[in-house]
Structure 1
Amino acid sequence: MHILFTLKDFKEGGGVERVQQRLAEQFLKDGQRVSVFVMNGETPDVAGAPALDGGGNGLFGLIKSVVLLRRIIRREGVTHLISAKEQANLCTWFATLGSGCHVIYTRHTALDCSEQKTGVHSLRLLYALYLCGSGQVVAVSHGLHQALARLMPWGRQRIRYCPNAVVTDQLYAAARGPLPKGLPREYWIAVGRLIELKGFHLLLEAYAQVASNPLVPDLMIVGDGPMRESLIDQAQRLGIARRVTFTGHLGNPYPLIRHARLLILSSFYEGQPTVLIEALALGTPVLATDCPSGPRELLDNGRLGQLVRVNDVPDLARGLEQSLDLAAHSARSMAHTVNPYTSEHAAQAYYQVWNL
């Protein structure tokens, strides 16, 4: 079995990239041959999996990537493909036309997502195209799987759910690493790309409403993105700049997550938010917006963590204050909860899809 991952890009710290990397590492551990094709030529960090350059960005880059990928499939004897994000899915569809490859097209983001340029009607056409071939479509949460099945009920037999590969031995090892110096003794943490979709601006508003409570710890925001400067300015305007730390991108945020009093997810949309799974695996209490399509499913309708309304600053502020009474879980006690999201379990789910 030669498994090829097809990606549009490989952003540092990207959630989709991270779970694909962990899945690739598990396939390698299983003795499979693995390669990674990145359309814009960025280099993934997957030891043992050769990185193959694509054709670049834009329409010309897509066409060139299709030609390159088709050649690679024939030359390298690729038998199985997993693609992620729509440009990579489309590239894979064209490149595998007429081939005998076993193809999985993955969907990691909620269908109704303002960040993406592709609307729901266009997505229906794209996924109808994928399902017209011999490939399978995989959604990374049950909610997303149901949404895709409703969008194309005629193709539901080839729309499957596979969990993301999140929990690995490397995650636990990384979490035992040293903490950066100069941290507050206690803190809340939020992790993600600094874009509007993630709702960090709402988190700052909510934090400003509770920051006067002497029991409220400082807030750490880990990540980078186009909204960083505007968020720093917002913290200044709200008078909480001394209580909020923007760390930028960190190669290893897991010691910070492990020692946090609370991990906060303030998103408008998600597919399957891996940072929630990571926090649960490390025993950190979580609070998340009840956004489509992953938090409610991951948190068992609020049993495993707090859920608050989406785009509702007062409700988020109430949730933050209520979290002051939460105690950390032991990672051992959460093991059964996160087991479906181990890399071993995720790899087995993909094998099962291919064997259908």
Structure 2
Amino acid sequence: MDLAMISRAETTSASPSVHPDSVRIAVLLAQLRGAGIQRMRFNIIRCLLRRGYQVDLVVGAAKGELVDEIPPGVSLYTLSSKGRLGLPLGLMGYLRERQPSHVMSSYEDLSIMLLLAKKILRADTFTLLSTHNAISQLVHEGGRLNRLKQRLLRPMMKSLYPSADSLVAVSEGVALELHQYLNLPLSAINVIYNPVIADSFAAQLAAGESDLHYEQDGAPTIGFFGRLHEQKRVDLLIDAFAMLRKKAACRLLLVGEGAERERLELRVAGLGLGGDVHFFGFSESPYALMRRCHVVALPSDYEGLGNVLVEAMACGTQVVSTDCPHGPREILQDGKYGQLVEVGDAEGLCTALMNSINNVFRVDPELLVQRAMEFSADTATDSYLRAMKLPVAIEK
């Protein structure tokens, strides 16, 4: 497959000028949990506001860790108090009332609702749909009901996605899957890496240091940051850590929450690792914790990009990742910036972690930071605006 065929939003020509009152960009989310997609969208929203754009934050339910972080200047619209069944009618009502010029959607089910609502209303709203995960893996994720839902979504995506005005994938691997599974032409897909590093990164890192409540005893700390979800394979990391702990003094720090926590705690106890594994829970200041880690691990079965690798690199911290679809190999440039191990290989992961804590494999922290800055929010915002045929800023 020729990756050169994949479209790059940076090369798309933008409109020369736009009147401030003629553009209203709606950002569509299911809820406001502190997960990766929501945080990435908040980074884009802040950049859009600075560029002079009007932004509506349109959510299925205004609940989650990010409710208190909604940027000033954003208009918040909640679609339904009746759960996801009320979302389609709520979305149609919003489109009729506010008539946004552009809508950005990041979830497959919401994107399908958006395209159907636009068709029913005969609206001329510009629709940008972004895909943030490996769609080939979603049909295997979660319980029976979710797997059924994903199987039903696939043909609907195949039928409706070609009618979107702009399509975005967060990595080349995800773009290839959209092409392979939905028969979308590669030239119609813009690859835009996630806006991982915001302008506030340095301030967040400094503020986090003052609020940090995690004590180290001098032993190297291996960190995991993310949802405690089966996709993330924290169980694999725990198994690799159990092997590593027999060879070297070290600690494992697990930062995040999720449905797998109880099962993982039982696994840690069963392996006799209770004193060396710390379940930190959700953190509002993860960057300070990342900087204190000797190495950050991403043991996932699959990803869309792998934001945590970029965040850790921006902190100057070494990284190890499974070579999963998709994103880690692109971020680490085939292993230049961090070690890659086979998916599901606990022994290989143990070896890579040992190489990191013993400095057998080490990348200059300054080079890690330089690479991470290529995933800035401003760079991504430029690309998203060009993909929506808008200028990178509005002059008022």
Return the TM-score normalized by structure 2: 0.83
Aligned counterpart in structure 2 of residue 161 of structure 1, from 163, 173, 191 = 191
Query: Structure 1 residues 335, 236: CA separation in 2 closer, same or farther (over 3 Å shift)?
Result: closer
The more displaced of 33-42 and 220-229 is 33-42
Query: Structure 1 residues 205, 335: CA separation in 2 closer, same or farther (over 3 Å shift)?
Result: closer
Partner of 2:110: 88
Listed one character per residue, the Cα deviations across residues 2-57 of structure 1 (whole Å, up to 9, x for unaligned) are 1111112221x201111011111111111111111111332643212122111246
Correspondence list, 1:170-319, <5 A: 170-176=200-206, 177-178=208-209, 179-185=212-218, 186-214=220-248, 216-319=249-352
1-structure distance, mates of 2:168, 2:51: 21
Per-residue deviation, 1:200: 0.7
Q: CA RMSD in A?
A: 2.1
The DSSP-based 3-state class of the residue aligned with 1:112 is helix
Per-residue deviation, 1:276: 0.6
Per-residue deviation, 1:184: 3.5
Partner of 1:18: 39
Residue 237 of structure 1 aligns with an amino acid whose one-letter code is G
Query: Structure 1 residues 335, 260: CA separation in 2 closer, same or farther (over 3 Å shift)?
Result: closer
Partner of 2:170: 140
Aligned length: 351
2-structure distance, mates of 1:144, 1:109: 7
Listed one character per residue, the Cα deviations across residues 267-313 of structure 1 (whole Å, up to 9, x for unaligned) are 11100111111011111100001111111111101110010111111
Return the TM-score normalized by structure 1: 0.92
The DSSP-based 3-state class of the residue aligned with 2:367 is coil
2-structure distance, mates of 1:354, 1:181: 43
Unaligned runs of 5+ in 1: none
1-structure distance, mates of 2:204, 2:389: 34
Matched, 1:31 2:52: yes
Q: Percent of pairs identical after alignment?
A: 27
Partner of 2:91: 69
Partner of 1:51: 76
Per-residue deviation, 1:180: 1.5
2-structure distance, mates of 1:195, 1:154: 30
Aligned counterpart in structure 1 of residue 131 of structure 2, from 107, 119, 122 = 107
Listed one character per residue, the Cα deviations across residues 85-130 of structure 1 (whole Å, up to 9, x for unaligned) are 1222122112222211111111111112222635776454233233
Unaligned runs of 5+ in 2: 1-22, 391-396
1-structure distance, mates of 2:352, 2:88: 48
2-structure distance, mates of 1:123, 1:247: 35
Residue 109 of structure 1 aligns with an amino acid whose one-letter code is N
Per-residue deviation, 1:332: 4.2
2-structure distance, mates of 1:130, 1:138: 15
2-structure distance, mates of 1:146, 1:126: 18
